[in-house]
Structure 1
């Protein structure tokens, strides 16, 4: 009798503690546990690892590198070409990509993203001593929209590391 009572109590407590774990969170909610809160969610202004960890899950770059390689592969850009002098890089964007609000990705969005990074006077650029703008992508002179799905980066001088830089999370669109 005593053993049966203990068993019932044990099973009751087990059930009591198991029920909250059975509750399913809403399917449109993402819960991320981190050791610190990111100070912002703008990849172009990210200065710390916490921001980049989160923005990496939200944004994409024109090109990317697989986890196990340093090869550069297509991301938001399905292809790219470099001019013979190395001063113009033309990227063809993937069709059908949309932002979270349903707005389609186009060359204007890419231009906006890079203009605020390369132009410290841009109204949406962050300024200051530790700004992402300072020195980053300094080889990019301007960005042109060729057509809705084609964007061209015009460089001040040839830059062999441009694709590697564009694969960094700070260059996310």
Structure 2
């Protein structure tokens, strides 16, 4: 008894062979990037989105499209891992008091924004004060910060956020792009 393959006609065998060849060439058809190639400044990056957005400032909109775009532009104090734990990002570490009313963030030293402005406690405080300012109309970002009592910058690398009552979801909010930290120099020029 001959195998099942032997029952295929020559035409069927040729079709299978052609399909396998066509598939294998698509895997190797794109040229690989040269490892020695140097990055080139300039150019245009076009991205297709499912909807339009008129606002690119993550702190003044609750738009998920803006969040997708700005996640590639702004960094957050903390990140969130796949297991939902919080991870260091711009803050290299933090402490939370026992009743979740005082959060102390220690910033990663030596970080600068793309415009050269240093990331320091004053920059973080400026961002959060701007969000809390009623003139900014940051309703979504403001809700993520919660009912803040005060924000302090006791030194260049430390930010302290205090509440009158417990506010446990702060780290979750800080991990989102809506509370991403932007250059105060840029924000002042753009205002």
Distance 1:73 1:136, change over 3 A: closer
The change in CA–CA distance for 1:134 and 1:162 in structure 2 (over 3 A counts) is: closer
Which region of structure 1 is more displaced relative to structure 2, 41-50 or 87-96? 41-50
> Which ranges in structure 2 are unaligned for 5 or more consecutive residues?
1-38, 182-191
Q: Distance in 1 between matches of 2:72 and 2:132?
A: 24
Aligned twin of 1:48: 63
Runs of 4+ in structure 1 deviating by more than 6 angstroms, as ranges, are none
Number of aligned positions between the proteins:
142
Question: Which consecutive unaligned segments of at least 5 residues does structure 1 have?
Answer: 1-24
**Over aligned residue pairs, what C-alpha RMSD do you find?**
2.1
> TM-score normalized by structure 1?
0.73
What's the offset of the Cα at 1:134? 5.7
The structure that is helix-richer by fraction is: 2
Q: By how many angstroms is 1:172 displaced? A: 0.4
Q: Summarize the Cα distance change of 1:133–1:78 in structure 2 as closer, same or farther, 3 Å threshold.
A: closer
Residue 126 in structure 1 maps to residue 137 in structure 2 = yes
- TM (norm. structure 2) is 0.67
